[in-house]
Amino acid sequence: MKIAIIGAGYVGLTTGACLAELGNEVICSDIDQRKINLLNVGEIPIYEPGLKELVRLNVKEKRLFFTTKIAPAIQKSEIVFNTVGTPLTPQGDNDLSAVYSVVDVFKKNLNNYKIFVNKSTVPIGISQKIKKTILSHVKNRKLFDVVNNPEFLREGTAIKDFMKPDRIIVGVDNKRSEAIMKRLYVPLVRASQPLIFTDLKSAEMIKYVSNAFLALKISFINEIANFCDKVNGDIKEIARGIGMDHRIGSRFLHAGIGWGGSCLPKDVETLINLGKKYNFTFKIIKAAHEVNEQQKYRVIDKLKKEFLNLRNKIIAVWGLSFKPKTDDIRESPAIAIIKQLQKLGATIQAFDPAAMLNAKSALKNNPIVYAGTSYEALNKADALLILTEWDEFRSVDFNKMKTLMRGRLIIDGRNIYNPQEIKRLGFTYYGIGYK
Ligand code: UDX
C-alpha cells in the first residue's frame, strides 16, 4: 500500500521503516530539512538499535523515501500517518499545533480517498475534532476517514515492539477504514497478537490508560522498595514472588529511581489534567506521580547517610539516559539528581554510552565532567551512583574500580549488583529496597 508518514521523529521513523519492511511504499516527511538531508544519506538522527540498518535496507529496496514536501507525499498516498510530537506546554496542556498543521495540509490535498491515521498521542476527543475540521473543509464525508492507531513503542526496543506487538489498537468509525487498516496490519497479526478495532475515543483512552498503569506499577514496586529499606526487606525477592501470579505479571516490577522519558511523565500528567477539566481526581494515578517525583532523590538520602556534607565530594555517575539503549534524557531521573547534588556542592564526573551529547545540552548551565569511559568517571571519586542500568555497567572490574576511587561507596539506583558480592569486595553498598 502507498503510505505517507508525517513527522520523521522516533515514532514516525520506526513506523515508516517497519511498514516499508512489510512491503509497503512509504514516503516519510518532515519539516526539518537537516533531518531529511541526514536521512537521505542513510544517517539516523536518533539512537534506536537496528533502525539505521532497517532504514538503509528499505531505502536501497526503493520502498522508503524521505522528503520535506508534505503535500505531494499526501497526494501520492492512501494512508497518511500523523506522527508529530504533542509536547506538554508549561501549563500542562498538550501542544497540538503540529498535529493541526498536518491536518491542514491533509484536508487541502485530498485528490482521492485517504485515511488520516493519528498515531501521535492526543487527548481524548481530538480524533473526532480532527474529523470535523477536515469535513468542514472538504464537505464530502466519502473522501476521507479518520483513524486513531496509538503506538506502544518502547525506546530501545521500538522495532521489536512494532513487529511483534502485544496488540494493535485501531480506533475506527466505519467499515471502510476498518477493512483498509486490517489489510495494512494483517502481516503483523499472529494468534497471540490480536488486531483490535474499537471506537476512536476508546483508542485514545487505551493509550493513556496503558501508560498510566505502567507508571502505577513502577511506583507501586518503588513504594514497596522504600518500605523494604525500613524493614531490611529484599525487593527483588518480593517482586519475584508476586510476579509469578499471572494476574500481576513479572514485568515492570524493577524498583529503582523511578520512571522518566517522553511518554510516561507526559501521559500521566495529561490524564491528571484531563481529570481536572471534568472536575474528577485520579487519586491513585496522582499518588503514583507523587511517589515518582520523590523516588529519584532516594539516592541522595542514602549518600547523606555516609557523607553529612557533600560539599567538594566527587561523585561518579554511571548512566544519564532515562533508561538503557537510548540517548534520550527527557525527564531522566539522572539529570534531576545531578542538579540536586550540585546544589549540595558535589562535583560530578559522569559517563553514559549514548546520552552524553544530549546531557551536555540539558546541563549546559550545570557543567559537569564528562568522562571518556566508565572507569575514567571513577577518578578520585568518593562514591559511585548507578542511575541507568546499561549492560556494560553490570560486569565491571571491581578491583580496578578500587584503585581508581578515593572512597568505597556504591549507590545502586537500579539494583543491578549483588549486594553480598559488592560488600565482600570491600565496598559499602546501598540499593533501592535491596541490601
Ligand atoms: C513507554 C511505554 O512502555 C510504551 O509502551 C509507550 O509507547 C511509550 O512509553 P518508554 O518510555 O520508551 O516506553 O520506556 P519504558 O521501557 O516504558 O520505561 C519507562 C521508564 O520506566 C524508564 O525510565 C524506566 O527506567 C522505568 N522503569 C521501567 C522502571 O523504573 N522499572 C521498570 O520495571 C520498568
* Alpha-carbon span 313 to 92, nearest angstrom: 36
pLDDT of amino acid 257: 98
**Which residue blocks in 345-415 are alpha helix, DSSP H?**
356-362, 398-404
**Ligand 1 atom closest to Cα of 267?**
9
Q: Cell 542500568 appears where?
A: 389
pLDDT of amino acid 283: 98
How far, in Å, from the CA of 235 to the mean position of ligand 1?
19
How many beta carbons lie within 10 A of that of residue 420, not counting itself?
Answer: 10
Cα-based angle 148, 260, 282 (whole degrees, multiple of 5): 65
Residue ID of nearest Cα to ligand 1 atom 13:
154
**Ligand 1 atom closest to Cα of 161?**
5
What DSSP element (H or E) covers 347? strand 347-351
Does 228 qualify as catalytic in the annotation? no
pLDDT of amino acid 171: 98
pLDDT of amino acid 190: 72
**Ligand 1 atom closest to Cα of 323?**
25
3-state secondary structure of 268: helix
From first CA to last CA, the distance across the chain in angstroms is 55
Show the cell assigned to 177: 477504514
pLDDT of amino acid 192: 66
How far, in Å, from the CA of 259 to the mean position of ligand 1?
6
pLDDT of amino acid 92: 83
Contact 296, 258 (CB under 8 A): yes
Residue ID of nearest Cα to ligand 1 atom 20:
259
Pocket test for ligand 1, best of 48, 157, 252 (most atoms within 8 A of CB): 252
How far, in Å, from the CA of 260 to the mean position of ligand 1?
7
Can you count the helices (H) and strands (E) in the chain? Answer: 17, 14
Mean pLDDT by 10 residues, the chain (435 residues): 96 98 97 96 93 97 98 98 93 92 98 97 93 96 97 96 95 98 91 87 96 98 98 98 98 98 95 94 98 98 95 97 96 98 97 97 94 98 98 97 98 98 96 96
Helices 200-231, 264-277: crossing angle, 10 deg rounding: 110
